Structure 1
Amino acid sequence: MQRRLILTAGINSTGYLADSWRHVSDSPLVFAEFDHYLRATRIAHAGRLDAVFFSDHPALGADPAQRPLHSFEPLTLSTALAVAVPDIGFEITVSSTYSAPYDLARRLATLDHISGGRVICNIVSSFNPAVAANYGSAPLPPREARYRQAHEFMSVVTALLKSWNLRRPVDPQSGVWDPDFARPISHKGEFYSVAGPLNVPSDARRRALIGQAGASGPGLDFAAAYGEIIYCSLLSLPAAWNFRDELHARAKARGRAPASLRIVPGLVPIIGRTRAEALERHDAVSGAGSEKGLLRRFARDAGIDYATLDPDAPVANDLFKTSADQQRPAGFTQALAELARHERITPRQFVRRVEGGHRLVAGTADDVASDIIAWWRSGVVEGFNIQTPVLPEDLSDFVEQVVPRLQKAGIFPREYESGSLRERFELTGEI
């Protein structure tokens, strides 16, 4: 298998959809049980998925009608899961705004050793003032400052992870460490002053891959500088090609080869025995109850009076606008605007194409597999981060029904390849 599909799965809370807690077969409080995440990880492992993905937001979303999306701290949870489940990788999300570079580098290097190099670290710039309020009295910095800090943060983390090379041997003549086995980084910058070196040795072949999910201009610059696994919301093929071309151009401008990046957008599959059955499940698990309910939600989210909404008129190009202080990812808003710009899509079509900010595919297992294959064979993406509506039931359906079709198509492995995630994804070069 030359080029092959990358598949990861989000396993936060009771599922990706906000109403998932009403549909789990277990207690709605299962999100606070370790065994829930262990079971989901084992299901993903049975499907030979590359990694399980933990998004994170260190503040409670206190809407009593929705499941608490983020609860357990991802790095701690992944460490426990890495010991219990072999082969599969772990994608953890970390805020560059509210983390210390030395602390993160040390924890990452430790988890690299525990897992054998099965770590992806998704670096995000926090956007919610509620997060800032949990880390002190200072207000959330503006977007430009947060990304300036993120660049310095990653520069320091990268330097620390390279500061003690595990491959440098003990001097056989003197019987002591090579005097240059670890080097201070002596960093002094706008946001950080870090002496180094790290006190955990690092192996370049097993070092954590860096994920990035920003889609604004500053986010793309950050991805071009440091990202290796690029998470994004891509809702149409034309928009996906534009995103890929822009990202690659920015990477080249920074001296990086486009081949050093893997684009892995989110995908929400809803599987039924027929498409009609899948659409009925979408109505149910979305919490909307019907297509009319989905259209009401669309109007509310877009700031439109539902009474004036024409569900069969094309969505206006300027309906979705990104603001500097919005409290949701800018990439989601931009993806919605791009979909409206590239296609004459109506609200009725729109509500069946997007769920939770990512692209929705509702249909049979053949429909879902065919969609994944078509996008992957187009060359625009390297894989998908699967966001199943309800955990673990919908993840089981995906693994049991869709994955075998992808394996039969020859684009996804039937067994895990040996080596670290870096080696599996052929990302062993330097950033």
Structure 2
Amino acid sequence: MSSARPDGRHVFLAAAINGAGWSRAAARWPGTRWNRFNDVAHYREAAEIARRGVLDAVFVSDHPALSSFGLEGGPPHSLDPIPLFAALAASVPDIGFVLTASTTYNSPYNLARRLATLDAISGGRLVWNAVSSFNPDVAANFGAAPLPPRPERYRRADEFLRVVKELWLSWDAPVGPAPAGPLWDASSARVLDHHGEFFDVRGPLNVPVGPQGHPVISQAGASESGLDFAARHAEIVYASLAGAAAARAFRDDVRRRAAAHGRDPDHLRFVPGLHVVVAPTRAEAERRHEAVRGARDEEELIARFRAAHLPENDLTRHVGPDTVLDPAWFPTEEREGTATGHLKGIAELVAEEELTLRRLVRRVEGGHRLVVGTAEDVAVAILEWWEGGLADGFHLQLPILNEDLTTFVDEVVPILRAAGAVPRAYDGSTIRERLGLPDPRPVPATVG
């Protein structure tokens, strides 16, 4: 197996290390500690495993509320990712850190300062996944006001990003020998004097421009507002994409939008989610898939999926495990309090292929592409989208941490490495360098 990309870039791989894993059975999985979600040593071990495989980054999403998901599998969001990654950056070299922080329930100056500090601590290894909070439970933890409607949240997010990026580049601290005069003046530490719909921020930031200019910006929205936001600001686009045709259409759409906003579409990297369940044989992988989903067998797996994703109404009441599905049965309209991308990912896959429930449950998880099979099956699935230009990499979702992360590193990575798709050592000290992204600092004007 041999692979190559004309742009010379490798597959960007970020392993999600939230809690005990995405499986609802993760907390009580045999041979694990149920409360490892609250132990920094658990996350340090995950980062060390990922580094051993020369993965580009580890990823922690965030949701500042105690989710009902945790009733069975342990809370997927517990420790604040910023201090968590500060601890990991001090002890685990090379690996990058992708963290989620909300534009809805933060202030631009405070978050810009904390993220710039973490980027400095890590030597330029930080990616910020900027999100607009959609859960009313989160809103209830930040005051009495209800969750703002989606258009307002994204107007705020757009202004938030514009302010944060200006703050990150607002102080050019001197390098090398100390200057003879002041350490900064009005030209090197620039006042923003921003006055907008949501924020009034004077600036400049009291953290200098960082080792990679500023952290790489990621975004994961799939609504119309979210797509436009990604096109304006994202460098990494994280999406719920289960089918190849949907992935290509999504990529083309966001690239068109980026160009319309005056950005170079070649400065975007598409890194969708990918759920993997790996075992020595496909049959064993299917049994493991059922177990990590908390199902006794395939029929219970199908029943659980149906209850979660297929509304019970006159159109769907007759649908059995082997009935060819109609995409119209899966609602995709934008609804407050839901993640739009997860719903669209399922509907798009059903529209793209003739699928039954029996086949669909092995193809999609949480709206993301799912691969259930051998290490070779997973490697082939990764290479298929990467070689075809559908993805620049993947956010890996593992059911049981750190067991499945170890399996991926020990069994899948060597196949990808033999194909020339992932490096044997880290190439570049910053995430921006590894992604081939431009430095955001303005190019100094030449004289003469």
TM-score range, shorter chain: over 0.9
Output the CA distance in 2 between the equivalents of 1:371 and 1:325: 32
Q: Residue 58 of structure 2: SS of its match in structure 1?
A: strand
Which residue identity is paired with 2:112? A
Please state if 1:285 is matched with 2:295: no
Output the CA distance in 1 between the equivalents of 2:153 and 2:391: 28
Within a 5 Å distance, the mapping from 1:88-103 to structure 2 comes to: 88-103=95-110
Which residue identity is paired with 1:303? P
Equivalent in 198, 202, 212 of residue 205 of structure 1: 212
Distance of aligned partners of 1:110 and 1:304 in 2 relative to their CA distance in 1, 3 Å threshold: same
Choose 370-379 or 319-328, whichever is displaced more: 319-328
Output the CA distance in 1 between the equivalents of 2:185 and 2:201: 23
For each residue in 1:233-257, what CA deviation from the matched residue of structure 2 results, as whole angstroms up to 9, or x when unmatched? 1111111100001010000000111
Aligned residues of 2:213 and 2:440 also touching (Cα < 8 A): no
TM-score (norm 1): 0.96
Output the CA distance in 1 between the equivalents of 2:395 and 2:269: 12
Equivalent in 236, 248, 251 of residue 244 of structure 1: 251
Shift of 1:167: 5.0
Which residue is equivalent to 1:330?
A: 340
Output the CA distance in 1 between the equivalents of 2:30 and 2:113: 37
Which residue identity is paired with 1:386? L
Shift of 1:308: 3.1
Which residue is equivalent to 2:17?
A: 11
Equivalent in 126, 130, 133 of residue 133 of structure 2: 126
Q: Residue 327 of structure 1: SS of its match in structure 2?
A: coil
Aligned residues of 1:165 and 1:203 also touching (Cα < 8 A): no
Please state if 1:319 is matched with 2:325: no
Which residue identity is paired with 1:336? I
For each residue in 1:14-34, what CA deviation from the matched residue of structure 2 results, as whole angstroms up to 9, or x when unmatched? 101222222152221111111
For each residue in 1:43-70, what CA deviation from the matched residue of structure 2 results, as whole angstroms up to 9, or x when unmatched? 0010000000001100001352332110
Please state if 1:151 is matched with 2:161: no
Choose 174-183 or 284-293, whichever is displaced more: 174-183
For each residue in 1:353-395, what CA deviation from the matched residue of structure 2 results, as whole angstroms up to 9, or x when unmatched? 0123321111111111111111110111101111111000000
Within a 5 Å distance, the mapping from 1:24-423 to structure 2 comes to: 25-63=31-69, 64-167=71-174, 172-174=179-181, 177-203=184-210, 205-301=212-308, 302-304=310-312, 308-423=318-433
Aligned residues of 2:10 and 2:421 also touching (Cα < 8 A): yes
Which residue identity is paired with 1:231? Y
Aligned residues of 1:112 and 1:208 also touching (Cα < 8 A): yes
Aligned residues of 1:164 and 1:201 also touching (Cα < 8 A): yes
Q: Residue 22 of structure 1: SS of its match in structure 2?
A: coil
Aligned residues of 1:14 and 1:31 also touching (Cα < 8 A): yes
Which residue identity is paired with 2:343? T
Q: Residue 28 of structure 1: SS of its match in structure 2?
A: coil
Gaps of 5+ in 2: 442-448
Choose 353-362 or 159-168, whichever is displaced more: 159-168
Output the CA distance in 2 between the equivalents of 1:176 and 1:166: 7
Q: Residue 117 of structure 1: SS of its match in structure 2?
A: coil
Aligned residues of 1:368 and 1:402 also touching (Cα < 8 A): yes
Output the CA distance in 1 between the equivalents of 2:123 and 2:338: 34
Distance of aligned partners of 1:419 and 1:346 in 2 relative to their CA distance in 1, 3 Å threshold: same
Shift of 1:207: 1.7
Output the CA distance in 2 between the equivalents of 1:177 and 1:228: 30
Aligned residues of 1:206 and 1:420 also touching (Cα < 8 A): no
Shift of 1:179: 4.4
Q: Residue 100 of structure 2: SS of its match in structure 1?
A: strand
Aligned residues of 1:112 and 1:206 also touching (Cα < 8 A): no
Distance of aligned partners of 1:291 and 1:116 in 2 relative to their CA distance in 1, 3 Å threshold: same
Choose 326-335 or 209-218, whichever is displaced more: 326-335
Output the CA distance in 1 between the equivalents of 2:73 and 2:99: 23
Which residue identity is paired with 2:239? C
Which residue identity is paired with 1:216? S
Which residue identity is paired with 1:426? G
Shift of 1:171: 8.0
Which residue identity is paired with 2:311? G
Choose 390-399 or 53-62, whichever is displaced more: 53-62
Output the CA distance in 1 between the equivalents of 2:389 and 2:183: 51
Which residue identity is paired with 1:330? T
Output the CA distance in 2 between the equivalents of 1:408 and 1:177: 50
Shift of 1:173: 4.9
Output the CA distance in 2 between the equivalents of 1:241 and 1:323: 21
Aligned residues of 1:17 and 1:356 also touching (Cα < 8 A): no
Q: Residue 35 of structure 2: SS of its match in structure 1?
A: helix
TM-score (norm 2): 0.93
Aligned residues of 2:123 and 2:211 also touching (Cα < 8 A): no
Aligned residues of 1:11 and 1:37 also touching (Cα < 8 A): yes
Q: CA RMSD in A?
A: 1.8
Output the CA distance in 2 between the equivalents of 1:209 and 1:323: 30
Distance of aligned partners of 1:374 and 1:43 in 2 relative to their CA distance in 1, 3 Å threshold: same
Shift of 1:176: 5.1
Runs of 4 or more consecutive aligned structure 1 residues displaced over 6 Å after TM superposition: 168-171
Aligned residues of 1:206 and 1:422 also touching (Cα < 8 A): no
Output the CA distance in 2 between the equivalents of 1:314 and 1:251: 37
Output the CA distance in 1 between the equivalents of 2:154 and 2:117: 26
